Amino acid sequence: GENVEQHPSTLSVQEGDSAVIKCTYSDSASNYFPWYKQELGKRPQLIIDIRSNVGEKKDQRIAVTLNKTAKHFSLHITETQPEDSAVYFCAASKEGGGADGLTFGKGTHLIIQP
């Protein structure tokens, strides 16, 4: 099955700086790569996703890049703010006959230092 590795497990950055979280996946058939944000005590929520037919996608301060050849994808957050503090999970999946569940990375705890 799919295996998703996520690094680093903890990332501390100064407010206003950029943060980058990296993930690799093992199944070359995977074609959908979402990122979820989970604030303390709350449920995970999708912040951005990318499909394998594009290499980059941006949404305001957040961007995701995908390198299918190397089987890795990254989340970039620019101009970090205190509300960006959370645990971020990358995931991978592929289109199946019906649904396919997501395989998640183990998460990155992002800490924004004031």
Residues forming contacts to another protein in the complex (CB under 8 A) are 1, 6, 9, 31-32, 34, 43-46, 49, 51, 89, 93-95, 98-107
Comparing CB distances to another protein, the nearer of 82 and 101 is 101
Report the nearest approach of another protein to the CB of residue 25 (Å). 14
Please provide the DSSP assignment of the chain as one string.
---EEEE-SEEEEETTS-EEEEEEES-TT--EEEEEEE-TTS--EEEEEEETT-SEEEETTEEEEEETTTTEEEEEE-S--GGG-EEEEEEEB---SS--PPEEP--EEEEEE-
Looking at the Cβ atoms of 43 and 70, the one nearer to another protein is 43
Q: How far is the CB of 1 from another protein (least distance, A)?
A: 6
Identity of the residue, 31 or 65, whose beta carbon is nearer to another protein in the bound complex: 31
